[in-house]
Amino acid sequence: MTDAVLASETTSAEKTGEPLADDGVKRRQVLEGAREVFMSAGFDAGSMNDIARAAGVSKGTLYAYFESKVALFEALIREDRAQQPERNTMFPADEPDPAKALAIYGRALVAHVTGSDALTQARVVAFAAAKFPRLGQTFYEAGPLFGVLKLKDRLDVYVAAGTLAIDDTMLAARQFVDLCLGDILKRLLFMVVTSLSQEEIGLIVDSAVRMFMKAYAAPPRD
């Protein structure tokens, strides 16, 4: 959580006079209530009254932790991302062949991003971001950008090993993610389809790997 949000929470606590002694348990209770409300009603329709009721706390307690619905939703986004350890393990660290590693990673990435909860949250954020751009920025930084940076780190390793030849690994990481998710994510987000078969996902990811390697595979050594 940013320093600004932490500061605002402290200020709101001082205004209500409620202590934050049980921060871990009570804060978790508030976040779970918020998740239930936002995912079922959406950001605009879900009120702080609804969240307090779902969390089983008073509105005073709610505002002791979060000064606004926007601050609460931001915290929920970061919390959800932080509680997903698979985000750090999707890329096989011990695979020396970048093509094989990217094929494994691409499938894990698609499965992660297109899960029902992830899609619901993405729809809620996309709708709310027009009115509250900060929510969109938080979601992007905690989710898509985080994934791109992790992939960039792995591509840097392959470049150093001489198996990939990439001048801009950040750009290359974005390109691979887009190759894997672009059409899939659009169809699912806009409810063109409700699910995709593992066979179709595999075909898309394998095609993305071939295109990526054609562009960035290191030339054979003499």
**What is the CATH classification number for the domain harbouring 30?**
1.10.10.60
Amino acid, single-letter form, for residue 203: L
Calculate mean pLDDT across residues 187-200. 90
Can you give the pLDDT at residue 199? 94
66 Rama class: left (phi>0) / alpha (psi -120 to 50) / beta: beta
Can you give the pLDDT at residue 222? 62
Per-residue confidence band for 93, with pLDDT thresholds at 50, 70 and 90:
confident
**Is 117 exposed, middle or buried, given 0-12, 13-18 or 19+ CB atoms closer than 10 A?**
exposed
CA–CA dist 174, 161 (Å, integer): 21
Residue 78 and residue 142 share a domain: no
Query: Do residues 52 and 33 make contact, with C-beta atoms less than 8 angstroms apart?
Result: yes
Decide if 221 is inside a domain.
Answer: no
Max Cα–Cα distance, the chain, nearest Å: 73
Decide if 101 is inside a domain.
Answer: yes
141 alpha-carbon distance from chain centroid? 8
Can you give the pLDDT at residue 11? 38
Residue 115 and residue 20 share a domain: no
Residue 122 and residue 174 share a domain: yes
Q: Which domain holds residue 40?
A: 3-82
Average pLDDT, the chain: 84
Calculate mean pLDDT across residues 86-91. 64
Residue 40, token pair as written in the block:
């079922």
Between CA 60 and CA 149, with CA 28 as vertex, the angle to 5 degrees is 120
Residue 59 and residue 155 share a domain: no
Can you give the pLDDT at residue 88? 56
DSSP structural state of residue 97:
-
What's the domain count of the chain?
Answer: 2
Residue 196 and residue 133 share a domain: yes
Per-residue confidence band for 24, with pLDDT thresholds at 50, 70 and 90:
confident
What is the tens place of the pLDDT at every residue in 43-66? 888 889 999 999 999 888 889 999
More confident residue, 85 or 150: 150
pTM, entire model = 0.74
Q: Give the residue carrying structure tokens 């985000």.
A: 87
**Is 55 exposed, middle or buried, given 0-12, 13-18 or 19+ CB atoms closer than 10 A?**
buried
Residue 76 and residue 30 share a domain: yes
More confident residue, 173 or 22: 173
Query: Radius of gyration (Cα) for the chain, nearest Å?
Result: 21
Decide if 13 is inside a domain.
Answer: yes
Query: Do residues 59 and 50 make contact, with C-beta atoms less than 8 angstroms apart?
Result: no
Residue 196 and residue 103 share a domain: yes
Can you give the pLDDT at residue 3? 39
Amino acid, single-letter form, for residue 199: E
Decide if 75 is inside a domain.
Answer: yes
Residue 201 and residue 190 share a domain: yes
What is the tens place of the pLDDT at every residue in 96-154? 999 999 999 999 999 888 888 888 888 888 888 888 898 899 888 888 898 899 999 99
